[in-house]
Structure 1
Amino acid sequence: MTLPSLKWWQSGIIYQIYPRSFQDSGGDGVGDLKGVTGRLDYLASLGITAIWFSPVFTSPMKDFGYDVADYKNIDPLFGTLEDFGELVEQAHARGLKVMLDFVPNHSSDEHPWFVEARSSRDNPKRDWYMWRDPSTTGGVPNNWKSFFGGDAWTFDQQTGQYYLHQFVSGQPELNWANPEVRHEMADTLRFWMQRGVDGFRVDVFWLLAKDPEFRDEPRNPDWRPGQPEHNSLTHIYTQDLPVTHDYIREMRAALDEFDDRMMVGEIYLPIDKLLTYAGTPEAPECHLPFNFHLILTPWNAADVRRLVDEYDAAVTKSGSWPNWVLGNHDQHRFATRVGRAQYRVAQTLLLTLRGTPTVYYGDEIGMEDGHIPENRVVDPAALGQPEVAASAGRDPERTPMQWDTSPHAGFTSARAEPWLPVAENFTAVNVAAQEQDPRSDLNYFRALTRLRGGSAALTGGSYRSLETATGTPTLQEGTSLTGGGYQNVQAGSGVFGYVREHDAEKVLVLLNFGTEDAPLSLPELEGATLLLSSHGEADSSVLRGNEAQLWQLS
């Protein structure tokens, strides 16, 4: 059951697919669109609402699709526009929405726009990109750094100027101050919406605007050698500039020309700045400014509770809609980060908090980071920064989907190795094995999504954390769960509990972040109904170590 006032992107669950790694139908070791189409029944069985595809546009793949050479076509590696049309039709027939990754900050250096732009200084496309003369000493124009290491500038011999790129040199930055660029980007959104696309995840939203004077950025006093070089500066001239909001409102206007479309913005900023990207009712911007804070918060009950309370209160005050994510193509898998024992606690948290959850492919079966031998590393973020490759490299979370125990985990029939090695645990952790086990991680995920989809409280109800007397999430005896002061006895600093409520429906979520059992003494639980426990059976007297419980309160 969903609340009538909620849009699909508020009540539903978004599932991210990294197309190279989901399913290969052609036997070349790289996933493709037909492969995804063949797995749509599986996706529908998960209880998700929308599929978000990492980039599938034409690209030389210097950053695996985030370097776009044609915004209005599909790369042959993934298929054709016809294949994409078939996928959209089949997804919609199953009630699934389709979202694309939109990359407006930079194109490929092989895009025809950039080929024209670098042909001469007076080419009409020249101002579509960001060019500067060498400094007075003959070097780079300023001190700006690339996220992938080194300077953010590459010298173009033909025209004698540098062009800006905040990622690899094959990703020149588009000049969003040029209205022609903004018009073309809006037209690209329309192109895909006319083909049935329901929404977009917009790459590096907060980087679109740059300082028109190209001033040096100040040094970061907290930076230390051994950390990524990009962090050595404070990015006051390349991130979160006020005019960025004008650009986003223009994109939003293009989306609003169509019914029921949406966009998610990739934004790594503090909560107060993050939520400004939702705009206002009078000047709406991004439907869901991506909230990455759960990924970046230390995994303990006190810190997670503090984050959730702060974020939910801020979202409520701003009038926007919350969203949560635990993993994606740029972050190590959460089963690896929090550990196997805490995997279901984390999954329960993600799918029961107020707001829209985004799930990364394979997380529903508990996939972990794969081991990538040095000779198989392909991620430019790791190759360009060998000194921090272990933390910066993104290959481990992009390994192929683990479908079964056949060679290459059922991802591909290719005789050669797939584009990245399959994680070594695929014979134990795979869809086929978990389909047959009612107590598997996959079926626990489905149980959570069924509960969520059938509960107005979990889908769109209010959130209230359990009160604490000591500043840590302990629960105190004698306070009524239904009276507004939600406390419990001696649950310990490792417990985070909250209530989701809509009308008369109340769902209590209890999460034990610790390894020790936490005794419970709640009279209200005597009449409550256990909805789900990550440990299977449960009672109202104890929350076991590493356990998640959901209770329907009477």
Structure 2
Amino acid sequence: MTIASASITAPDKNWWRGAVIYQIYPRSFQDSNGDGIGDLKGIAARLPHVANLGADAIWVSPFFMSPMRDFGYDVSDYEDVDPIFGTLTDFDSLIAEAHRLGIKVMIDLVISHSSDRHPWFVESRSSQNNPKADWYVWSDSKPDGTPPNNWLSIFGGSAWAWDPTRMQYYMHNFLTSQPDLNLHNPEVQDRLLDVVRFWLDRGVDGFRLDTINFYFHDRELRDNPALEPARRNASTAPAVNPYNFQEHIYDKNRPENIAFLKRFRSVLEEYPAIAAVGEVGDSQRGLEIVGEYTSGDDKMHMCYAFEFLSPDALTPSRVEEVMSDFGAAAPDGWACWAFSNHDVMRHVSRWGSLVADREAFAKQYSAILMTLRGSVCLYQGEELGLTEAELAYQDLQDPYGIQFWPEFKGRDGCRTPMVWDSQVAQGGFSTVKPWLPVPVEHILRAVSVQSGDENSVLEHYRRFLAFRKQHLAFAKGEIVFAEPQEEVLVYTRKFEDETVLCVFNMSASEGTADLPEGNWQALPGHGFTSNNYGNKIDIPAWGAYFARLA
């Protein structure tokens, strides 16, 4: 092989920079065996939909062995597939099919905690002097028998649970059935990195790291300070949760994490073209932590915080504020932006509940997301304009929603099954009653209904993803915001010799925008229409305009 031919076939190590990643929640994507729960064979069968959409990669939420107390985010075996999702052979077939279609595969790693059914924890809790006694976070009680400090669980109550066998408390940032691993222990780190290699050897292209800033705790177990009400933010936990009343500087966000992330990255570098994106869950320091974790080229490739997943309304000033704050916190870092995922209310409902024309709203917001600087995560069903499902209490499965009902209804409303065919029972997801109900209003927005309809949200996503790929400035370029114009958002994306102007009228009324100085030539192919005259432009409600600097 010549040097020239080797360079042609070499994998692109930067494929992730500006990639569009499609998130799949396995339980709700496609049921292939008629048990009402989605599975790996179902995902493989539906991958042509992802390819036709134009996504570069998929992120598959956990499918590992699990008692399913938190639906896969409580892992009992990191190196096997839970039977409800299939087998390791099914996973290998999924990888092969994705790669055949040109789609990268990223999987969800949950290594801040495991299930209490994991053999590691079963051994750890058996005594105070077994070989894995220090693999989880254990502590004696205070003299009066109460927990060692004031740390709280995101799922409500103390972050400490009493174990009568060890006569000690163990730490759990989430459910009591999700004990926290002790990453201060080098043996734990080594074993987790073996897990990483296991999946890389099976052909995965990267990882999404769950709760990446929760990996380490303060060795001294110091109390968290109170957080004054003015600084409380409900983006990490719902407003009814007292978790928001603390500044979480000792139970997470610890500086020791940097060294471990470097170890993690060094393992990724043993393989060609692997990428990782970390979830940073913190309402006060989220972007700052993203900057720390993505700076340089020896930690995370990219991270995301909750700024665009929070209830805060998306306005032109809000978009500029978040992007500017990220630029200041992470000048050489890279973000992965999402408006929806499996943990938050779908954004069409979260931000557009009062909008009359939700079709136009959904189309515009997708265009904003896909033209911001950073990579993009799309959540299954987003491309159909699906709204948050309204479920009855008796239909709830999420322990989070059951705990805080009715003030917080949990995450089931965004996790209902994908709808494929309006003419088939359960929207084509399953032949039996699924694990969560399929809303009638979702069936009316099924893939079969929207495919081929040029005015549909689905065809808009397909069209705009193709438009995005035609202009590298969207995936790779810098972003510069113009002077604010009330409800109009204006910025440019520049890469090499191309500068693209993006203008959005983020209101329910027709608007007029002033264009920046320059000879702007309107770009076709995105599906939006506007009237341009001189240095001004008339944009319909929820409309957009794109032009290139000549």
TM-score between both structures, scaled by the size of structure 2: 0.90
Look up the equivalent residue of 1:215 and give its one-letter code: R
Cα deviations by residue, 1:29-60 (Å, 9 ceiling, x for unpaired): 11000001101111111111111000000000
Q: 1:461 aligns with which of 440, 463, 477?
A: 477
Equivalent-residue separation in structure 1 for 2:475 and 2:337 (angstroms): 13
Shift of 1:18: 0.4
Equivalent-residue separation in structure 1 for 2:168 and 2:458 (angstroms): 54
Does 2:422 align with 1:402? no
Look up the equivalent residue of 2:427 and give its one-letter code: A
Q: Name the structure 2 match of 1:248.
A: 261
Cα deviations by residue, 1:301-360 (Å, 9 ceiling, x for unpaired): 122222223324544x3x222321111111111111221252222100111112211111
Does 2:299 align with 1:303? no
Shift of 1:98: 0.4
Does 2:132 align with 1:125? yes
Q: 1:54 aligns with which of 53, 61, 83?
A: 61
On the 8 A contact 1:345/1:534 being kept in 2, the answer is no
On the 8 A contact 2:501/2:547 being kept in 1, the answer is yes
Cα deviations by residue, 1:73-120 (Å, 9 ceiling, x for unpaired): 000010000000000011111111001100111111111111111112
Equivalent-residue separation in structure 1 for 2:75 and 2:526 (angstroms): 45
Equivalent-residue separation in structure 2 for 1:526 and 1:234 (angstroms): 50
Q: Name the structure 1 match of 2:501.
A: 508
Equivalent-residue separation in structure 1 for 2:287 and 2:201 (angstroms): 34
Residues 234 and 525 (structure 1), Cα distance of their counterparts in 2 relative to 1, 3 Å cut: closer
Does 2:386 align with 1:367? yes
Q: Name the structure 2 match of 1:451.
A: 467
Q: For structure 1, which runs of at least 5 residues remain unmatched after alignment?
A: 475-492
SS at match of 1:38: helix
SS at match of 1:52: strand
Identical counterparts, % of pairs: 39
Shift of 1:501: 2.1
Equivalent-residue separation in structure 1 for 2:323 and 2:516 (angstroms): 26
* C-alpha RMSD of the superposition: 2.1
Shift of 1:156: 1.3
Q: 1:424 aligns with which of 440, 443, 453?
A: 440
Q: 1:350 aligns with which of 339, 345, 369?
A: 369
Does 2:149 align with 1:142? yes
Shift of 1:536: 5.0
* Structure 1, 353-362 or 332-341: larger mean CA deviation: 332-341
Equivalent-residue separation in structure 2 for 1:52 and 1:226 (angstroms): 28
Q: Name the structure 1 match of 2:165.
A: 158
Equivalent-residue separation in structure 1 for 2:119 and 2:223 (angstroms): 30
Q: Name the structure 1 match of 2:225.
A: 218
Residues 381 and 119 (structure 1), Cα distance of their counterparts in 2 relative to 1, 3 Å cut: same
Cα deviations by residue, 1:393-415 (Å, 9 ceiling, x for unpaired): 1111111111121221111111x
On the 8 A contact 1:511/1:547 being kept in 2, the answer is yes
Q: 2:74 aligns with which of 18, 43, 67?
A: 67
Equivalent-residue separation in structure 2 for 1:128 and 1:398 (angstroms): 32
On the 8 A contact 1:524/1:553 being kept in 2, the answer is no
SS at match of 2:16: helix
Does 2:192 align with 1:185? yes
Q: Name the structure 1 match of 2:4.
A: none
SS at match of 2:131: coil
Does 2:265 align with 1:272? no
On the 8 A contact 1:291/1:325 being kept in 2, the answer is no
SS at match of 2:319: helix
Q: Name the structure 1 match of 2:209.
A: 202
SS at match of 1:64: coil
Residues 518 and 257 (structure 1), Cα distance of their counterparts in 2 relative to 1, 3 Å cut: same
Shift of 1:535: 4.8
Cα deviations by residue, 1:146-184 (Å, 9 ceiling, x for unpaired): 100011111112221111111111101111011110000
* Structure 1, 57-66 or 117-126: larger mean CA deviation: 117-126
Q: Name the structure 1 match of 2:177.
A: 170
SS at match of 1:66: coil
Q: Name the structure 2 match of 1:488.
A: none
Look up the equivalent residue of 2:367 and give its one-letter code: T
On the 8 A contact 1:153/1:165 being kept in 2, the answer is yes
Look up the equivalent residue of 2:390 and give its one-letter code: H
Equivalent-residue separation in structure 2 for 1:137 and 1:188 (angstroms): 40
Q: 2:542 aligns with which of 510, 527, 546?
A: 546
TM-score between both structures, scaled by the size of structure 1: 0.90
Does 2:248 align with 1:235? yes
Q: 2:452 aligns with which of 428, 436, 453?
A: 436
On the 8 A contact 2:23/2:341 being kept in 1, the answer is yes
Q: Name the structure 1 match of 2:42.
A: 35
Equivalent-residue separation in structure 1 for 2:84 and 2:205 (angstroms): 23
Cα deviations by residue, 1:355-402 (Å, 9 ceiling, x for unpaired): 211111111111111111110111111122336423xx1111111111
On the 8 A contact 1:56/1:74 being kept in 2, the answer is yes
On the 8 A contact 2:338/2:377 being kept in 1, the answer is yes
On the 8 A contact 1:533/1:547 being kept in 2, the answer is no
Q: Name the structure 1 match of 2:341.
A: 328
Equivalent-residue separation in structure 2 for 1:65 and 1:450 (angstroms): 33
* Structure 1, 519-528 or 12-21: larger mean CA deviation: 519-528
Equivalent-residue separation in structure 1 for 2:239 and 2:55 (angstroms): 40
Residues 236 and 526 (structure 1), Cα distance of their counterparts in 2 relative to 1, 3 Å cut: closer
Equivalent-residue separation in structure 1 for 2:44 and 2:26 (angstroms): 11
Shift of 1:125: 0.9
On the 8 A contact 1:249/1:285 being kept in 2, the answer is yes
Q: Name the structure 1 match of 2:8.
A: none
Shift of 1:525: 8.7
Equivalent-residue separation in structure 1 for 2:487 and 2:31 (angstroms): 42
Q: Name the structure 1 match of 2:403.
A: 384
Q: Name the structure 2 match of 1:478.
A: none
On the 8 A contact 1:312/1:322 being kept in 2, the answer is no
Shift of 1:538: 5.2
On the 8 A contact 2:124/2:136 being kept in 1, the answer is yes
Shift of 1:519: 2.5
Q: Name the structure 2 match of 1:289.
A: 303
Equivalent-residue separation in structure 2 for 1:313 and 1:237 (angstroms): 25
Cα deviations by residue, 1:159-215 (Å, 9 ceiling, x for unpaired): 211111111111011110111100000000000000001100111110111111112
* Structure 1, 529-538 or 227-236: larger mean CA deviation: 529-538
Residues 120 and 524 (structure 1), Cα distance of their counterparts in 2 relative to 1, 3 Å cut: closer
* Structure 1, 118-127 or 81-90: larger mean CA deviation: 118-127
Cα deviations by residue, 1:420-449 (Å, 9 ceiling, x for unpaired): 111231232111111020111111111111
Q: Name the structure 2 match of 1:479.
A: none
Residues 67 and 184 (structure 1), Cα distance of their counterparts in 2 relative to 1, 3 Å cut: same
Does 2:510 align with 1:517? yes
* Structure 1, 378-387 or 14-23: larger mean CA deviation: 378-387
* Structure 1, 81-90 or 449-458: larger mean CA deviation: 449-458
Q: Name the structure 2 match of 1:411.
A: 429
Equivalent-residue separation in structure 1 for 2:538 and 2:29 (angstroms): 40
Look up the equivalent residue of 1:394 and give its one-letter code: R
Equivalent-residue separation in structure 2 for 1:159 and 1:323 (angstroms): 42
Does 2:276 align with 1:263? yes
